[in-house]
Amino acid sequence: MKKTIKTVLSIALVVNFQLSIIRTVAAQDTSYMRYNLRSLTSERMKGRGYSFRGDSIAAEYIRVELKRLGVEPLVEGYYQPYTFSVHSMEGPVSMMVDKKRLEPYTQYRIPSWSKSSWGDYPIVKVPCETLIDAAKMKKFLNKNNSRLDDAFVYIDRTTFKADNDEEQKKYDAIMYLLSSRNPFNSKGIIVGVKELSTYSPAGSDKEHSYAYIEVLASEMPRKAKKLNCNFFTQFHPRYQTQNIYGYVQGEVDTMIVYSAHYDHLGTMGDSIVFYGAHDNGSGVATLLDIARDAVTSKPHYTTVFCFFSGEEAGLKGSKYAVDHPVFDFSKVRLMINIDMFCGGDEGLMIFNANDPKTTEFVQRLEQINKALQIVPEIRRRDNRANSDHWFFSQKVPAIFILTMGQRYGGYHDPKDTCDRCGLENYINYVTLISALGL
Ligand SMILES: [Zn+2]
């Protein structure tokens, strides 16, 4: 984005949204955004998560970039340090059942909160009906007690046939509990599923006493007897990380605050990297682009840029930011959180769009869009705890903007790479959003 955006939008507002603006806007370039997105999703960032300190590698990159642009530090050295508890997974990851080697991520997933495991283990199959029948469970435990200690139990979820909805609900609840409680006291639990769960670093804030693997039931040998596995996780009760803040002084102290989380899922061991282009390299690169524009265009409002970590682990960074403010919340005119900004061929979605504190801004976007047809649709959503605007929205007018459509590699998937991030609409979208900062 170039500095002309502010001028272009001011003109657009004054001359009643001349349609010619589209051509002017489309002529802006995406090179700086693309450059940052490529850097943030490169191998050396390790998925910006909690394995290999990927979050801190990304933080340092953002800090250097802010300094280079001439964005002032809002706190000393741009960093607000804090800690939270999290798990990481580094080192080799492998799984072999009998003689069949399974593919990590596509055929099985190990959450980072699982306990480490390496070596050979017997597999003890648990019929799934056993789990919802106390008598059957007792019998199973009595019969297998001596061999469970050093074994992995295998439960094939896909074979369960519930008699009614209530039984299905009960079964689902018991299966869910297996991620935090091991009724077999076994070395580990393997759950066979039809579709693997979305990968996420959240799930537990304490150390686990057993290993947990989710596998595609269709890939498990029918009479699985032996497991050979290797994976290494670590629990960090006080993981050191940081939020990052910069600002550009405006003509007035009233603030427009932009935020984006820079953390992502990191890695599943050495081999699987979650690059996180859409989520949320795109948001961070957008903020840096807006920051570059703000430095040269001298904005009316003071413009603050927040880069949060800990989002993927449960909005940890933005919660800390609200509890330990580094700027005056009473001066915030609007906070705009950007999270997942690739593609957008179907338009934009705005969360917390119906809050009385934010509707005037959303209306403004809708009016501009109606006149200029910049995006196919602006969809309003009520507030949800689905990104970093959530805790702020209880203190300041805050919205969360994301793109709609499929032009990105995948959600919480290693395929969410820079190359798959569609930027055809980027200039139009960022121009529209920048109108809120005028
Ligand atoms: Zn995100």
Q: Where are the domains of the chain?
A: 4-84+238-437, 92-231
Residues contacting residue 366 through CB under 8 Å, at least 6 positions apart: 378
- Cα 401 to middle of ligand 1, angstroms: 11
Is the link from the previous residue into 280 a cis peptide, with omega within 30 of 0? yes
- Cα 280 to middle of ligand 1, angstroms: 5
- Cα 186 to middle of ligand 1, angstroms: 35
CA distance 269 to 221: 24
Give pLDDT, residue 391.
98
**272-273 and 252-261 strand pairing:** unpaired
92-231 belongs to which CATH class?
A: alpha beta
Give pLDDT, residue 48.
97
- Cα 248 to middle of ligand 1, angstroms: 25
Residues contacting residue 7 through CB under 8 Å, at least 6 positions apart: 297
- Cα 77 to middle of ligand 1, angstroms: 25
- Cα 20 to middle of ligand 1, angstroms: 34
- Cα 343 to middle of ligand 1, angstroms: 15
Q: Is the pTM of this model over 0.85?
A: yes
- Cα 336 to middle of ligand 1, angstroms: 14
Give pLDDT, residue 291.
95
CA distance 152 to 121: 7
Tally of CA atoms within 13 A in the half-sphere of 116 that contains its CB: 13
Give pLDDT, residue 1.
44
Let me know how long the chain is: 438
Record: fold of 4-84+238-437: Aminopeptidase (3.40.630)
CA distance 223 to 264: 38
CA distance 248 to 3: 14
Residues of the chain with pLDDT under 50: 1-4, 7-8, 11, 14-27
Q: Are 279 and 412 in contact (CB under 8 A)?
A: yes
Rounded to an integer, what is the distance from CA 77 to the centroid of its chain?
A: 25
Give pLDDT, residue 146.
87
Fold match flag (4-84+238-437 vs 92-231): no
- Cα 340 to middle of ligand 1, angstroms: 6
Tell me, what amino acid is at 394? Answer: Q
* Burial class of residue 198 in the structure, from the number of CB atoms within 10 Å of its CB (0-12 exposed, 13-18 middle, 19+ buried): exposed
